[in-house]
A = this chain, B = another copy of it.
Amino acid sequence: MATLTYREAVARGIAQEMARDERVLLIGEDVAEAGGVFKTTQGLRERFGPRRVRDTPISEEAITGMVMGAAMNGLRPIGEIMFSDFLATCWDIVANQIAKTRYMTGGQIELPLVLRSANGGGSRFGGQHSQSVENWAMAIPGLKVVAPSTPVDVVGLMAGAIRDPDPVIFLEHKALFATKGEVPDGELVDVLGRATTVRTGSDATIVALAAMVPKAVEAADILAREGISVDVIDLRTLVPLDVTTVASSVARTGRLFTVEENPRLCGWGAEVASIVADECFWDLDGPIVRITTPHIPLPAADAIEDMAIPSADRIVETIRSSMQ
C-alpha cells in the first residue's frame, strides 16, 4: 500500500501496462523528456526508453491519427492531448475516424487505443484550458469514456482502458492532480462500466463524476447532519454507463440529483436524467434536478470561476430546497 497523488497514479497505471505489454507506447507533446506538463508521465521515458515514450510536434491531428493507425497495425498506443479543450483541434480524427472505423468497416478494424487528456476547471486558466468535455465524447457512438476521481481508480481504470480492445477517452481531472489516496501494491486492473457507491443513504441519490465526487461527498456529509441521507454514486465511466447502479439507488431513494462540471446543455446529467425519467419514472418521488456549471465558458478570475463550478454548498442548497 502506498500513498500516491492522482498525478503519480497516472504514471503508475501507464507504467504497469507498459511493463506488461511491449505493444503499449505513449506519444504526445512534452510527454517524454519533460515528463508531461502536468508531470503525469514522469519517469516513463527514462524507464521505457525514447522510442516507447515520445515527444511529438504540436500536431493534434497527427497525434490522434497516428495513434489510430498504429492501433490498426499491432500496437496498443496511448496518445496524450495535453488539455481536453484541444480535443476540438482533432475532433474529426476522434469522432469521425477513431469512433466510427470499426462499425463502418463491418468489424474489420480493431482500435485498442487510449487518448488521455487533462480535463476540467478550477485552475484559473480561462475558457480554452478549463473545459469539461466528457459530454462531447459521450455523445459520439464508438468511444468509451472514463473519468476517475481517486488515485486508486486512476491506476485501475488506466489499466482497464489500455487493455480494452476499443478506443477509450481517458479524462484526468486537473483539479485532482494534487489529491492523494492509498493505492494497493501489485497489479490493479479495473473493468470499465462499473459505478461505485461512495456514500449510502436513503433519501436521495447524487450521481457525480471526477472532481464533482469529492464535492458531492462533502455535500452529503453536510446534508447528513441536517437529517437528509443521500447515496453518492461515482459513475467513473460514462460509456459503458452503469445504469443498473443508478437505477437501483433511485428505486430506493426516489430522488435523483446529478452534479456535473460540464456546461448545462446536453451534459451527461441530461442523459442520466432522461434514462431515469423513462425507466425509473414510477420510482420517483419528486423532480430530477441537475446541478451543473451554467451554460457559459469558464471565466479566468478565481472569484467567479468558483461561482461557476458546482460547489458543495450549491449542492447542499439545491438538494435541501428541492427536498423540502
A37-45, A205-213, A215-223, A267-275: which lies at the B interface?
Answer: A267-275
Give the distance in Å from the alpha carbon of A262 to the alpha carbon of B239 in the complex.
Answer: 17
Closest B residue by C-beta to A284: B281
A26-34, A48-56, A66-74, A90-98: which lies at the B interface?
Answer: A90-98
Contacts of A139 in B (CB 8 A): 135-136, 139, 262-263, 265-267
A100 within 8 A of B: yes
Is B290 touching A274 in the complex (CB atoms < 8 A)? yes
Is A287 touching B278 in the complex (CB atoms < 8 A)? yes
A20 within 8 A of B: no
A1-26 contacts to B, CB under 8 A, are none
A74-115 contacts to B, CB under 8 A, are 85-86, 88-89, 91-92, 94-96, 99-100, 103-104
A188 within 8 A of B: no
- Nearest-neighbour CB distance to chain B for A69, whole angstroms, equals 17
A254-289 contacts to B, CB under 8 A, are 262-263, 265-271, 273-274, 276-279, 281-282, 284, 286-289
A184 within 8 A of B: no
A297 within 8 A of B: yes
Contacts of A95 in B (CB 8 A): 88
Give the distance in Å from the alpha carbon of A250 to the alpha carbon of B296 in the complex.
Answer: 28
Option from B140, B281, B288, B294 in Cβ contact (under 8 Å) with A274: B288
Q: Chain A contact residues (Cβ within 8 angstroms of B): what range?
A: 35 or more
A127 within 8 A of B: yes
Is B296 touching A141 in the complex (CB atoms < 8 A)? yes
Given A138-B266, A139-B135, A297-B100, verify A281-B273 contact (CB < 8 Å).
no
Copies of this chain: 2
Contacts of A100 in B (CB 8 A): 127-128, 297
Give the distance in Å from the alpha carbon of A299 to the alpha carbon of B105 in the complex.
Answer: 10
A225 within 8 A of B: no
A126 within 8 A of B: yes
Given A266-B266, A270-B271, A274-B274, verify A288-B296 contact (CB < 8 Å).
no
Give the distance in Å from the alpha carbon of A294 to the alpha carbon of B81 in the complex.
Answer: 29
Given A142-B297, A269-B274, verify A104-B126 contact (CB < 8 Å).
yes
Give the distance in Å from the alpha carbon of A142 to the alpha carbon of B273 in the complex.
Answer: 24
Given A126-B104, A127-B103, A128-B100, verify A278-B288 contact (CB < 8 Å).
yes
Is A286 touching B297 in the complex (CB atoms < 8 A)? no
Contacts of A287 in B (CB 8 A): 277-279, 281-282
- Nearest-neighbour CB distance to chain B for A204, whole angstroms, equals 14
Is A89 touching B92 in the complex (CB atoms < 8 A)? yes
Contacts of A239 in B (CB 8 A): 265
9 interchain residue pairs of minimum CB distance:
A273-B274, A281-B287, A88-B92, A270-B270, A277-B277, A91-B91, A139-B266, A270-B274, A277-B288
Q: Contacts A86-B92, A91-B92, A141-B265 given; 8 further ones with Cβ under 8 A?
A: A88-B91, A88-B94, A89-B91, A99-B297, A139-B265, A239-B265, A277-B288, A278-B288
